[in-house]
Structure 1
């Protein structure tokens, strides 16, 4: 009665396996912070939208048409500026 010996990997196979594992770890490290930054960043922008809507829109899209529109809406009344900022931050308005 002989027990089966586990199959041994060659040096090249071990090296390739280690390299693949390193690459997977690096990808996982890069992907996790991006997801956190996305969610945390969006939450911060939403909070900022209630305090100063044009600044929140600027951080999201820069000096685009949405920024200038938000300034106009905020000057007409704070509530339209806040609503527009929330729509821009949540990607409802482009």
Structure 2
């Protein structure tokens, strides 16, 4: 496995763990669907940090992981709020 593949997997795993961590500290009921959803959402939003490599090709993997973690937290929060607003519009609320 090449270095960039290892880095991408690290960022995806970190994002998924952040999503699970957010779920575990919330008061929401734990369900398998919610665990998978938060993991996928965290991994997807944290992988956006890979775009930083376009601007800074020599970015250290630890810096990329930190950016991925930050984007995973902020991005997942943003996406969840957006979906809740859309659901409220559909339900007439």
Please, what TM-score do these two structures have when normalized by structure 2?
0.32
Report the TM-score when normalising by structure 1. 0.31
Q: Which has the larger radius of gyration?
A: 1
Which structure is richer in relative contact order (CA contacts within 8 A, separation 6 or more)? Answer: 2
